[in-house]
Structure 1
């Protein structure tokens, strides 16, 4: 797959212009005689190429579906996130599939994508609608050197990465709602589900599940979800390349995955605050312990929500569902 990825990287960089076969083989670090066999293999994956006797070869058409080769070709050759990419036509949940790989010793940065999930889930076991060919449903395996108490940083980092990638790629005003929702104009477009394996006081691995509603239409949502959920296509009124978006997200995660330590994480918190939908607003936090009301005052350095209660006390919230009650004002410095 790495050879095919290298060929595609060169052709994508050429931006649909022709490139001489010898030049293509050289830049992809292939023997010239290997090139035709690799191009044939890529054709079977849905790629199409145009040959010109004088000009050479160019990429003429990309497959409709996701492929590990295209996603990988849109990423740097030297990387951790996405060094190994698995693509499933259908699975119950990419987190479940990634958990099996993790138990088999899969390395950090392993990715599992699925074209469809039959039992996609969000937090608290909620169903995540995952129709075939219309979204990004994937799980990233991380093995960070992080204490379990600081594991919320993983979701915070991923939220910042996904939001920044989608904002840059689509131009949409994507915002983050703690702890794991990404919104556009009040509608949920994406979510993150982080599941941990902990042994004693050690975090063994984290499975970071990401779901992005890319090209879903209104009819793809049930009646009860149509007001609350949306997609990039519906908000921007145009369709998007899922492989391009996937690579954009993965590049942003790669840039931040080593920023989970005490020295680096404050910069992630600053990014989060700039994107936060709830900061300064009166909110309600619902959890198994009941409901709590207060003002969203920021994040602490473990990724917990800082809730300012009516009596002025600050309470750290590690989990729950947030709803916005009303707007407020105020300035919110970073926690010390």
Structure 2
């Protein structure tokens, strides 16, 4: 069973969806709004979104049928969101490790995945903020939208329904762990390219080589290969 619920406005879809899980026995529940006022990102970051221009969407997934580690679930989620947008826009879309979605060098999707226990059942709460129609961003921002990057406009309601159905289909058919890793690594942003990183407040050049099953990224630096966890390194682009 699955449901897709709509709120005209809410503070955070990841927070609001928890209320519906208290009274629902579906394995999948989607909740969305086009006016999220206090969106949250990974590791305490915020996610700002212009009203009636973008999508804030959360999907609660019962973990009863999820038999892969949390780190791979995060990778797989980023991959299927990337795939949906690549198919829709017919443009190259990349994943900036660990799970930002990049279209033509601009971040168009932020993803926040949380694990919650409700009524003795455990759920992944997949929150995604997708910039769809917004045209103006801070000049120094790395953010963009589908419209700014492709020039194409999409109906928000139709987009949401198609997005919801696509995620359900893919989450009901999770591939092998090796396939997940291969797909994720094949779409890594700036993989095998010389990039500038900030490490412990110092900048140095490096080349992203691959992400591993533990959730770490391996980068070839001037003094050899080294792995990092999120927030230990920042890619400057």
Task: Give 2:163's aligned residue.
Answer: 249
Structure 1 vs Structure 2 CA RMSD: 3.0
TM-score (norm 2): 0.82
Paired residue for 1:155, among 68, 74, 92?
A: 74
Give yes or no for contact 2:7–2:32 (8 Å, CA) kept in 1.
yes
The CA deviation string for residues 226-251 of structure 1, in whole angstroms up to 9 with x for no partner, is xx111111112131122333334334
Q: Say if 2:232 is the partner of 1:318.
A: no
In the alignment, the residues of structure 1 paired with residue 196 and residue 115 of structure 2 have an alpha-carbon distance, to the nearest angstrom, of 27
In the alignment, the residues of structure 2 paired with residue 224 and residue 107 of structure 1 have an alpha-carbon distance, to the nearest angstrom, of 42
Task: Give 2:54's aligned residue.
Answer: 135
In the alignment, the residues of structure 2 paired with residue 311 and residue 203 of structure 1 have an alpha-carbon distance, to the nearest angstrom, of 47
SS of 1:84 mapped into structure 2: strand
Task: Give 1:307's aligned residue.
Answer: 219
The CA deviation string for residues 65-109 of structure 1, in whole angstroms up to 9 with x for no partner, is xxxxxxxxxxxxxxx5xx111110111000110233335555321
Q: Say if 2:151 is the partner of 1:237.
A: yes
Paired residue for 2:89, among 163, 170, 188?
A: 170
Structure 2, unaligned runs of 5 or more: none
- Mark the structure with the bigger radius of gyration: 1
Task: Give 1:217's aligned residue.
Answer: 135
SS of 1:217 mapped into structure 2: coil
Structure with more contact order per residue of length (Cα contacts < 8 Å, sep ≥ 6): 2
In the alignment, the residues of structure 2 paired with residue 299 and residue 197 of structure 1 have an alpha-carbon distance, to the nearest angstrom, of 26
Give the length in aligned residue pairs. 232
**Following TM superposition, by how much is the alpha carbon of 1:180 offset from its aligned partner in structure 2, in angstroms?**
1.6
Pairs within 5 Å for 1:36-51: none
In the alignment, the residues of structure 2 paired with residue 139 and residue 283 of structure 1 have an alpha-carbon distance, to the nearest angstrom, of 33
The CA deviation string for residues 243-278 of structure 1, in whole angstroms up to 9 with x for no partner, is 333334334423432566xx7122122222222113
Task: Give 2:10's aligned residue.
Answer: 91
Q: Say if 2:125 is the partner of 1:204.
A: no
Task: Give 1:43's aligned residue.
Answer: none
In the alignment, the residues of structure 2 paired with residue 92 and residue 276 of structure 1 have an alpha-carbon distance, to the nearest angstrom, of 31
In the alignment, the residues of structure 2 paired with residue 306 and residue 144 of structure 1 have an alpha-carbon distance, to the nearest angstrom, of 29
Q: 1:268 to 1:251 in 2, by over 3 A?
A: farther
Give yes or no for contact 1:181–1:190 (8 Å, CA) kept in 2.
yes
Q: 1:248 to 1:299 in 2, by over 3 A?
A: farther
Q: 1:284 to 1:222 in 2, by over 3 A?
A: closer
Structure 1, unaligned runs of 5 or more: 1-79, 326-336
Task: Give 2:197's aligned residue.
Answer: 284
In the alignment, the residues of structure 2 paired with residue 290 and residue 198 of structure 1 have an alpha-carbon distance, to the nearest angstrom, of 37
Q: 1:86 to 1:251 in 2, by over 3 A?
A: closer
In the alignment, the residues of structure 2 paired with residue 97 and residue 305 of structure 1 have an alpha-carbon distance, to the nearest angstrom, of 32
**Following TM superposition, by how much is the alpha carbon of 1:222 offset from its aligned partner in structure 2, in angstroms?**
3.7
SS of 1:131 mapped into structure 2: coil
Q: Say if 2:209 is the partner of 1:297.
A: yes
**Following TM superposition, by how much is the alpha carbon of 1:323 offset from its aligned partner in structure 2, in angstroms?**
0.8
